Amino acid sequence: MTDVVPNDSEGRALTVRLATPRGFCAGVDRAIQIVERALEKYGAPVYVRHEIVHNRHVVERLRALGAVFVKELDECPDDRPVVFSAHGVPKAVPEAARSREMFFLDATCPLVSKVHVEAERHHAAGRHILLIGHAGHPEVVGTMGQLPSGAISLVETVEDARTFAPPDDSPLAYVTQTTLSLDDTAEIVRTLKERFPDLPDPHKEDICYATTNRQEAVKRLAEGSDLVLVVGSANSSNSVRLVEVALRAGARDARLVDDASRIDWSWFDGVQTVGVTAGASAPEELIQGLISALGERFDVTLREDDGARETVTFKLPRALTA
């Protein structure tokens, strides 16, 4: 698809390449719908433990509708619905909610839940688990919180993989955060397997289809783009990874922007082709707003790249559909 975006100014020519796929994934879409449906069905306020997804615009819109975002469960009253974020929570959180007889809705992405189940399976088989991920990320906190303390060791870097010392003689297994860089993770896994040749692979790749597709799309985008703009919030792991992947794939420059207002126009000095994509938690309207801002300043030719067409959907909790 090639469209010319009208521009009444006499700006210089700029080719804008738009990545496919981009923006919302099925897990993010489901999590947001859970909060929206809960507000419709039960009225405001609906409490949400942590940001439902890592995007400032999404959080602010839901807050305006009546969602109350809190850090911990003890900030929620017993008599209002509470939603757990898409990143997943430690087992202790729903247990605490049940003990208080709270009504809660779990918006954990099903692909994150798959990693939880996999970790539990390895633990039941007597394996010590290596979790490849970023310390402090809610998904990592949630995954480590599925099992007793000490059952999982966190591996963040290749250096961690080189120096990891097994706590005992138990066999090992690994799982990963779903939003990591494919290339970084592959290097960590290679390093671990050089040291522990019997380390089994997951039955199915832990890094989710949406992360994979967006990283492959941004690699294609980076080829021939002078600048790549990734729409997403700074606390969004998958969005930050897209910037890193674009730079490694050959983009001269790549930047993360929360929205069009965060563009520094000096980035465009000497730029003839800009690639545009978005992390899995960024709404499409932010991407269109960025393209409109480019069209007001430049004579833009818009080209949408070919890429994977995503048809995955996840069911909502039965309490919201009954």
Does the pLDDT value for residue 302 go beyond 60? yes
- Contact call for residues 320 and 34 (beta carbons, < 8 A): yes
Q: β-strands 273-278, 82-84: how paired?
A: unpaired
Q: Kindly report the CATH class assigned to 110-207.
A: alpha beta
For the question of residue 139 being annotated catalytic, the response is: yes
Tokens for 26? 């099925």
For residue 253, what are the CA distances in angstroms to 50, 67, 244? 32, 37, 10
Question: Which whole number is the average pLDDT over 48-77?
Answer: 97
Q: How is the chain split into domains, by residue range? A: 2-24+209-304, 26-106, 110-207
Which pLDDT does position 206 carry in this prediction?
A: 83
pTM: 0.93
Which pLDDT does position 205 carry in this prediction?
A: 79
| Beta strand ranges found along 28-114 (DSSP E) | 46-49, 67-70, 82-84, 104-106
DSSP structure string for 220-237: HHHTT-SEEEEES-TT-H
Question: Which whole number is the average pLDDT over 15-38?
Answer: 97
- Judged by DSSP in three states, 3 sits in strand
For residue 38, what are the CA distances in angstroms to 9, 114, 122, 160? 46, 24, 35, 42
Convert the pLDDT of each residue in 211-256 to its tens digit: 999 999 999 999 989 999 999 999 999 999 999 999 999 999 999 9
Closest CA to 137 of 184, 189, 188, 86: 86
Which pLDDT does position 2 carry in this prediction?
A: 42
Architecture of domain 2-24+209-304: 3-Layer(aba) Sandwich (3.40)
CATH topology of domain 26-106: Rossmann fold (3.40.50)
Which pLDDT does position 7 carry in this prediction?
A: 43
Domains 26-106 and 110-207 share a fold: no
- Contact call for residues 217 and 210 (beta carbons, < 8 A): no
Which pLDDT does position 4 carry in this prediction?
A: 42
Convert the pLDDT of each residue in 73-102 to its tens digit: 999 999 999 999 999 999 999 999 999 999
Catalytic option among 51, 139, 187, 310: 139
Tokens for 23? 């923006």
Write the CB contacts of 277 (distance below 8 Å, at least 6 apart in sequence).
18, 19, 22, 214, 217, 218, 221, 228, 229, 230, 231, 242
Which pLDDT does position 43 carry in this prediction?
A: 98
Does the pLDDT value for residue 6 go beyond 70? no
